[in-house]
Amino acid sequence: MSFDYDLFVIGGGSGGVRAARVAAATGAKVALAEERRLGGTCVIRGCVPKKLMVFASEYRDRMQEAKDYGWSVEVGDFEWGGFHSHLRSELERLEGVYRDLLKSSDVEIFDTRATLKDPHTISLKDGKDVTAKHILIATGGHPVKPDMPNANLGIVSDDIFHLKELPKRLLIIGGGYIACEFACIMHGLGVDVTLYYRGAQILRGFDDEARGLISDMMGKRGINIHLGTNIVEMRLAGDVDDTSHTVTASDASMGPSNLQQQEMRTNDDGGTDGPIWIKSSNGREAVFDQVLFATGRTPNTQDLGLENTEIEVGRRSEIIVDEYSQTAQPSVYAIGDVTNRVNLTPVAIREGMAFVETVFKGNPTPVDHDLIPSAVFTQPELGTIGMTEEDAREQEPVDIYCTSFRPMQGAFIGREDRVLMKLIVSKETDKVLGCHIVAPGAGEMIQLAGVAVKMGATKAQFDQVCAVHPTMSEEMVTMKTPMRSA
């Protein structure tokens, strides 16, 4: 049977674009369809714009530090409009780069929605059908709001980048890395931030000691964290009887009676331009200008036509694949967040590369999801690779090497911020099973430490490395005695 294409990719994010380009380089005829913007979540709605906001949010503290170091600096207000305009221009530039890369690789681009008609046929939204020998689904995922009345009044992380202006008071619902990153970003930009998380501690799944320190540091910076707390009711403040409750937000100068006269506007991306009345599970009632739901993401599998194939979908709407990213339908593969394996951009790219090796280069290559370094861009940052202390000690006896201290740069000017350096070491083999860093620049540090951990380095080999002095990271090679054993 002849096909229009050797490969048709559905989804123009980082994983799909890389797979399309590399497959085309083998001589395959490749096409790609993207219904929104090339670049996907990472480039357009996630990693890139978020990191640029991280950079912007750090300057207020840096300018204050500069003053404390003797510089004449005046710290003014953050101007969202100018930054936002520059951000939009940069994202448009990056989208153009992705488009040019695909064109230069001879990948045909369809700027439309694509669905599966059968195992080898793709239906495009304009009514055209095309066929492909192989189909790769790389449609990613999207943030979701909780199933509760008036959830539409809130926004999700995608919407942050489209705000016309920054809220004065922001409530964030959630305690994962997205919630915590945006809490730090928005606080750094001058927003009064409150965070509700139903769990006992933020950043569930990360090392307990590391996430505890980050929680403490966020609180000391002025982020109002309420643990064991969830939202139970939300309404437009103008719809609330001002005699029925007491406002207890950190800035409570405007109760509902003051707010009823304000115009309630729904913005283009969902949510409102404020204000919103909230009741929490602990009985607290407060008013915020905006509510951000950071309560999870779900794979983009709805209405893809998967029912026209043998593809299996899991209970979290993820496409089920084997170690080679192949679905139950042999002609269809899937990579990235739509499979809900490890939802990180570099992982999606590596999955795409492994797919091409397997299908187009005749070199069956399973995806390696072991020992993946990652970072959480809170303030301070968290860099991590390998096992947490809690997971490691359930597996085998371990030694815990760790130190927490005030780094020189901040201690000199009286800052209370602390950093953490931590190694999880097997007692039997001396192998470093995990590394966790809480510090400014931890994301940069963990990339390099990750090389050693991935290679299977032992604690003795860490110790053989001469320290770079004076640095924070030198502690990684100077911790001689375990803090504790388990």
Which residues are known catalytic residues?
Answer: 469
Those residues whose C-beta lies under 8 Å from the C-beta of residue 81, and which sit 6 or more positions away, are 165
**Locate tokens 């999606």: which residue?**
348
Residue 209 is labelled as binding a ligand: no
Distance CA 234, CA 187 (A): 22
340: left (phi over 0), alpha (psi -120 to 50) or beta: left
Residue 220 is labelled as binding a ligand: no
Q: Is residue 286 a contact partner of residue 170, using CB atoms and an 8 Å limit?
A: no
Examine residue 275 and say whether the peptide bond preceding it is cis (omega within 30 degrees of 0): yes
Pairing of strands 5-10, 30-33: parallel
Tally helices (H) and strands (E) across the chain.
13, 22
Distance CA 417, CA 434 (A): 23
Distance CA 56, CA 361 (A): 43
Q: Could you tell me which of 244, 309, 310 has the C-alpha nearest to residue 277?
A: 244
Using alpha carbons, list the distances in angstroms from residue 201 to 195, 210, 434: 12, 11, 21
Residue 422 is labelled as binding a ligand: no
**Locate tokens 């309420």: which residue?**
226
Residue 180 is labelled as binding a ligand: yes
Both tokens assigned to 100: 């040019």
Residue 51 is labelled as binding a ligand: yes
Those residues whose C-beta lies under 8 Å from the C-beta of residue 233, and which sit 6 or more positions away, are 149, 150, 278, 279
Residue 177 is labelled as binding a ligand: yes
Residue 42 is labelled as binding a ligand: no
Residue 178 is labelled as binding a ligand: yes
Q: How many CB atoms neighbour CB 244 within 10 A?
A: 9
Chain centre distance of CA 438? 17
Residue 296 is labelled as binding a ligand: yes
Distance CA 220, CA 2 (A): 64
Residue 190 is labelled as binding a ligand: no
Distance CA 149, CA 151 (A): 6
Residue 184 is labelled as binding a ligand: no
Distance CA 319, CA 179 (A): 26
Binding site for FAD, residues? 51, 337
Binding site for NAD(+), residues? 174-181, 296
Binding site, residues? 51, 174-181, 296, 337
